[in-house]
Amino acid sequence: MSFTIATFNVENLGTRHGGAPAAPDRVAALRPVLAALSADVICLQEVNAPRTGPHGARSFSSLDLLLEDTSYAGFNRATSTRPGVGEPADVHNLAILSRYPLSDITQLHHDLVPQWDWLPPGESQPVRAAFDRPILSACVQTPDGPVHVLNLHLRAPRAAHLPQEKSAGRWLTSAGWAKGMYLASQLRQAQALEARLFVERIFDREPDARIIVCGDFNAEPFETPTRILCGAPEDGADGSFIDRRLERLDMRAPVERRFSVLHDGRKALLDHILASPRLAHACASVDIFNADLIDEVHAPQGFSGSLHAPVVARFS
């Protein structure tokens, strides 16, 4: 059988601050993209969950609206929640949509990598280092057997908040900003490690497991978070851990198409699909839907689409 999986950062789908496009505009812009993917499984990032009223519960009403009257409307669904709360976060939730049944739905948030206290140089008070959002995992029960899927949205390379270094939302010194950038990079790498350790547990149970790790890594192929997730030394000539290595399937796309974000004219590949050896061997094609991608620095006011291109892998 054939099997297609896609990852797509839909960029703040739902109510946003700052004069966001109306929901109908966003739906009109995103629905054709989803239709073109024609996927059996889609991993979405940045799905917002507005409240149903001033004191109502948060819901995925914007996602429901987007999927309404599409081939994905009846898909099985797994969504993340705000850690420790049990309901969706206001912004940047994760969703896994699947044509096939889902089982073993799991959310990871410092389950394998604990939070830690970091004392910035020159400071007297430590700061608590914690991930912005969880990792979402589910087992897709395809007719050919289970496929373990992890959906990630790692921290962006923007300086993490340090209370003693900011005032009224502005950094007080360049040194303070540099400390925030350092902490952000540590958080991004630590969450990549948590995902990798979860993958190791799957391999411990199923040495020949079919595993996919995908999402917005906020890191290019050569950067540390992506290398951690791949899980094998690229500079080793002895084939160490080759049976547990995750292959970057997006690197199979044509060289001129290997980018998912445009930033001031520079092409960057931040959205990835990684696959275990058994799945990588069965990968028939990979595509990155970036033909109409808008440069995020020069996006027009009120742009309704996404500034990320979806990545799609097909297996047979």
pLDDT of 22? 55
pLDDT above 60 (res 17): no
Average pLDDT in the 126-132 region? 96
Q: What type of residue sits at position 67?
A: L
**194 Cβ contact partners less than 8 Å away, ≥ 6 residues apart:** 108, 110, 111, 112, 113, 131, 135
Share above pLDDT 90 across residues of the chain, in percent, rounded to a whole number = 83
pLDDT above 70 (res 234): no
- Please count the other Cβ atoms lying within 10 Å of the Cβ belonging to residue 308: 23
Residue pointed to by tokens 């190791």: 200
Residue 101: phi and psi, rounded to 5, are -60, 150
Residue pointed to by tokens 């960029």: 11
Average pLDDT in the 20-36 region? 85
* Secondary structure of residue 190 in the 3-state scheme: helix
pLDDT above 70 (res 302): yes
The string of pLDDT tens digits covering residues 173-219 is 999 999 999 999 999 999 999 999 999 999 999 999 999 999 999 99
pLDDT of 19? 43
- Please count the other Cβ atoms lying within 10 Å of the Cβ belonging to residue 148: 23
pLDDT of 238? 61
Domains in the chain with CATH codes? 3-315 (3.60.10.10)
pLDDT of 169? 85
Q: 1 pLDDT band (50/70/90 cuts)?
A: low
Name the pTM for this structure.
0.94
Whole-angstrom distance, CA of residue 208 vs CA of residue 195: 18
Burial of 281: CB neighbours in 10 Å, binned 0-12, 13-18, 19+: exposed
Burial of 158: CB neighbours in 10 Å, binned 0-12, 13-18, 19+: exposed
